[in-house]
Each structure stands twice: as C-alpha cells, then as structure tokens.
Chain A
Amino acid sequence: MSVQRRQRFGAFAALFSVPFLWALVFMIVPYLVMISVSFWTRQFPLFVPDFQFGNFVQIFSDPQYTTVILRTLKIAALVTLGALALGYPLAYFLVFTVRSEGLRNLLYMSVIVPLWVSYLLRAYTWKIILGTDGAVNSLLRMVGLIDEPLTVFLYNQTSMVITLVYIFVPFMVMPLFAVLSNIPKALIEASEDLGVGPFMTFWKVVFPLSLGGVVAGATMTFCLSFGDFVAPVLVGGPDGTMVANLLQSQFGAALNWPLGSALATLVLVLVLAVLQVSSRMDRAGRVGLG
C-alpha cells in the first residue's frame, strides 16, 4: 500500500467512521438483538435465550394477532388511497391551475406547514373535531339535523383513517408536487396540439409521467401509517388496535419481549417488502424527462 493510498484510507476512515459507528450501534446491533430475541422463549416472570419458532407460530396461528396485522394492512392501504385521492388533485391544482408562482408557493407551504406542529397535537385535534362536543356535532345540532350529539364519528376505524390521512397527506403531496412540477408544459401542449383533449392528455401523458411520485408518496404514507400507534390510542376505538399498539403492549404490560420482537421482525419484513416492490415499480416506470 503506497503512502498516498494509506493517507487516503486514513481520510476515508476519519470521514466515515462516525456515521458508520452510529449506524452500527444504533441500528444494526439493535436489529440483530431484536431478531435474536424473537427466537427466545418466555419463562414466567421473564424470558430465556433460545432458538425456536414458537413466537412466529403463535403470531400466525392466534387469530388475535392475525386480525390485528390484517387490520393494520387494511387501514394503511385505506390511508394511502385516501391521501392519494386528496393529494393528487391538490398537487395537480397547485402545479397546473394556479398561475401565480407566489400564490402557488404560499398554498404549497400551507400544505407542508402542519408538519411543523406536533404530531400528537394534530391527532388530538381530530378527537376534538369528531367528539361528542366537537365541531361536527355542534354544526349538525346548529342546523337542526340532530338533537343529541352523535358518537358515531369517534372511536372507530373511520375516525382513524380520517386522522391518519390528515396527518400523512403532506408526505403524499410533496413527491407529487415535485414530480408534476418537473413535467415540461410543452408536453401537455404537444398532446393538445396532436388533437387530444385535456382529459385524455391527463391519462396518457401527465399521469404516466407522475407515477414515480405516486409510488414514492404511497410508499411513505403506507409505511408511516402501518407503524402508527398514536391514532389508535387517541381516536381509535376498541376495534382500532394496530400492530404498533400490540408491540407496545408486548414490551410493556404483557412483558413478553420474545413475542414482541417476533412481531417487530414481521413488521420490518413487511415494510422492507413494500419498499422493495415500490423501488422496482419506480425503476420500471422511470423515464428521462427532457
């Protein structure tokens, strides 16, 4: 090894040792611990090292767990669809309809700004809006549609989806806004020039070119809501438990770390699978703009 190369290696090590150590100590080692604990056995009052698949078997055989996992998948999927249904038209409106750049940036910031507010606070707000004395009930009573406050708005899966859509919609709008802004206006003009009206122009040109943003936004929204545990606690009802709450209770009240670790490993695998699929889709759909 020449002096120069040794020096270069020294500089390389100095530059990257800190982030590498950080990743090792705070990410890789904890993952390894989590995965190994998932094979341990529970032995009252605590648990002992072991290598057996009982915890995983329990997760997949006990309907209590499978129900929660399926429900979490369903809610995350609904939140993703809801955020897409709200976020896409919004991003499209901002990019293509708003003419003034100042107004566009202002509106875009107003979509993003709630991210500065504590996540807990924003989730809690929906409890107030949807609650018995909340804005929705007050409005309905004011216009005389109901006499008694309704309780159907809060503590169910719908209220969870509404809350999570509200919280995560900026993560959908951001990539969509970026990707739509990058579509040259000349492509839309070219499409209309070739005799294609606005509706088909959207389906044939704008939408295919924005798929990268759809995939990115959907992935973020899905993964974030899949791991959420605040909305179920604040606005979810008895049938609103999600995987993260289950995890929390296994590590807390139930004091069953091996089962908790097995659940966490499953969540990790599911999220990695989602990321894998989305990066494949992204690569397949990627096209050079320009």
Chain B
Amino acid sequence: MISRPIVALSGVAKSYSSFIALDTTDLSLGEGEFVTLLGPSGCGKTTTLRLIGGFELADRGRIEIAGEDVTAKPPYRRPVNTVFQEYALFPHMTVAENIGYGLSVKANNVPAAERRRRVTEALAMVGLEEMGMRRTAELSGGQRQRVAMARAIVRRPRVLLLDEPLSALDVKLREGMQMELKRLHRELGITFLMVTHDQQEALALSDRIVVMNRGRIVQIGSPAELYDAPTTPYVADFIGTSNLVPVRSVGSDGQFDHLLMADGTRLRRRRRPGDRVFPNGQSVLAGIRPERLLTSDGGEVNRLAGRIVEALFQGDRVRIEIALAGGYERRSIFANVTRTASTASGAIEPGTEISLQVDPFDIMLFAAEDGQ
C-alpha cells in the first residue's frame, strides 16, 4: 500500500440514469507514480479520470487530492491538469497563448514576466521552442499533442491526467510520443494518470496498471505482475493474450498442481506462494500464453498434442492455430513459435500433427466460474 497517496478514491461510484459507469471503487495513487487505467471502452476508466479531474461529480464516496477533500469541487479548484483526448486547444489563440492561458487569468495571479518565462520553459520541455507564435490550426497532430502537454504542465499540477493522449496519432508518431511521455514523467517527477485501451502502451509506460472492466477494477499491479500473474482469465487475456483451456484439477503436492486434459494428458504446474488450492476433480481453466508454447524437444512432460489448423508466417515467428486432441475441437489454441525452432521441428503445414511443450512455470490457473 502507498503510505501517503497523492490521489485517494474511497467508495466512489458514478452512474448515468441506469448505466453504472463506475461501481463502488477504491484507488490510491502514489507521489510520482505513472499509473494507467486500462480497459475496453465503457469499462469506467474515462469516468474515473473525469471524476478526478472534476468534470463529473461522484454519486457516492470521497475523492482526495494532495490530502484535500475535492469531492464536490469544480475542476478549476483542483491541483490537477488534463491532457485531453482531442487536445482541446483553443483555436482562437496562438500556441504561446494556449500554454499561458492558465497563468494569464487574474485569479491565478502570475506576473507577466514570470508567465513568459514559464511558457518558454514549457515550450522547451516539449521541443517546440520556435512555435510560440503559431496558430494551433497550423500544427501537425504530434505538435498539437505537445502543445496540449505543455499547457497542462505549465501550472505545475500535483497530478497530470492524460485521457487517451496518443490515440489520435499514427503508429510511428505514437511510439515516439511514448518515449517523450516517459521522459517528461521522469523530468517532472509528478504523478501521471493515463487512460488507455492500448495494452502495449500501458505495459510500456506504467509503473502500475489498473485493469478495469464493466465499471470495476479487476486487478492492479506492475506490468510484470499483470503479465506473469494475472488473477482472472480476463486479465490473462487482456494483458498479452492467453489460451484458456478447460482442465480438471487432480490434486496438488507442495510444488505442483496436477491437471488432467480432456484427452487424458497430464500437465504439471509449478505452484507459487499464495496460490489457491483447488479440490480434487474440480473444473478449472489453464492459461497458457501463445509465446510460451514450445516446439523444441524437451522430454515427454507437459506436451500438448493437436493438429495444425492454420499457420501464419510473421517473419521471425510463425503463428499457429492448433486444434487440441480430445474434445477441444471447437476451441483452438494459438502458439507463436520462433522460426529457427519451427524449421528444426520440420514442416508446419495445416493438417499435420504437432506436439507442443509448456514449462510448468508457464501455466496459469483460474477458477472456471471466474469466466471472462
């Protein structure tokens, strides 16, 4: 847990008429963290961000920012700033006027000289030194993005909120901006809270990821934690992808869970501390990531037999769709195997039989009723 959170949501909920946008939720953000709210559209991530920004007011619960209760406060009384999805730059102002806007209004009381210095500083931070006098309409998408960033950081917020900041950019630009975001976060040292539906972006940027679905937080953890130890099949399939194979638990010893597949194959799964113990005979879901299925010959343990349905050439790797043997016909699994290994193991053609191996460390286990 975070000792002194900069943002704390406790029991916060929000609904629109009958639609529950955010179910009762607790969330804490630490000082200087880069946290991502990740989930499909309608999962409550944007609502959470807008509640913190003050653009929506919570039905229930309490929101604290920097130790102050801001639950009922309007956006202009909160020490946060936002980078909006479509940037929301003021079209009737120049780049410099946009950035200086939040400092220029009397109530904010920043003297003109100081204001100019800070605008120049913010422009330099986002690499737009020469662009101050431009109209926003003359800028490219990437430049607008930078102006939006500069405008949001110039007031030195305690928390920077980013609402799908990179979604309007093309792929090339997006990768460059990811680096920029990471650099800005390091240089500013303030808390970043970003909303995204792009799991790659979340994995690449975040200290912690909050996975959301249907108005609830499903799991919170570091990118590695979520990838290696998802607590639900939903997270396993949303962070990276996972094959979910229905199996039967046939007991555990101290080190391994023993699983029985429909075709009689036995799998061994290496247990981790704190893992749940499933009773003998219970149906469970085994999660195996496509990239952890190996064609190499490593003995007879943990081998899955099946027939190749389709093979897609992807350069360094081959993506194979496999129909597992024994009653799994309707649910094929996928494997990403490296080219060298696949060449070594012979031809990969649709219709041929294949045997894949998985390391006991690389099997995840979920209760079947957790479903999707």
> Which A residues are within 8 Å of any B CB, using their own CB?
184, 186-187, 189-197, 200, 204-205, 208-209, 285, 287-290
Contact = CB atoms under 8 A, between A and B. Distances in A.
Contact of A189 (B88, B91, B107, B155): B88
5 smallest CB-CB distances across A and B, nearest first, come from A194-B102, A186-B88, A190-B88, A192-B75, A287-B91
B102 A196 contact: yes
A186 to B, nearest CB: 4
A103 B220 CA distance: 42
Given A195-B102, A197-B107, A200-B105, A190 B91 contact: no
A203 B74 CA distance: 18
Contact of A193 (B81, B105, B106): B81
B74 A195 contact: no
A193 B53 contact: yes
Contact of B76 (A196, A208, A290): A196
A243 to B, nearest CB: 37
Interface string B28-65: 00000000000000000000000001110000000000
A184 B81 contact: no
B74 A192 contact: yes
14 contacts: A189-B53, A190-B151, A191-B101, A192-B76, A193-B53, A194-B101, A195-B107, A195-B155, A196-B108, A197-B74, A200-B106, A287-B137, A288-B91, A288-B137
B278 interface: no
Contact of A184 (B74, B76, B88, B101): B88
Contacts, number: 75
Interface in B73-107: 74-76, 80-82, 84-86, 88-92, 101-102, 105-107
A197 B88 contact: no
A190 B76 contact: no
Contacts of A192: 54-55, 74-76
Nearest to B107: A197
Contacts of A287: 91-92, 137
A204 B82 contact: no
Contacts of A190: 82, 84, 88-90, 151
B91 A195 contact: no
A197 B108 CA distance: 10
A195 B90 contact: no
B76 A205 contact: no
A204 to B, nearest CB: 7
Contacts of A187: 88, 90
A200 B81 CA distance: 18
Contacts of B155: 194-195
A197 B92 contact: no
Given A191-B101, A290-B86, 19 more contacts: A186-B85, A186-B86, A187-B88, A189-B88, A191-B90, A192-B55, A192-B76, A193-B82, A194-B151, A195-B105, A195-B107, A195-B108, A196-B107, A196-B108, A197-B107, A200-B106, A204-B105, A285-B92, A287-B91
B82 A289 contact: no
A191 B85 CA distance: 15
Contacts of B84: 186, 189-190
A287 B94 CA distance: 11
Contact of B92 (A189, A193, A195, A209): A209
A188 B84 CA distance: 12
A173 B151 CA distance: 34
A200 to B, nearest CB: 5
Interface in B157-206: none
A196 B77 CA distance: 9
A208 B90 CA distance: 10
Interface string B127-168: 000000000010000000000000110010000000000000
Contacts of A193: 53-55, 75-76, 80-82, 152
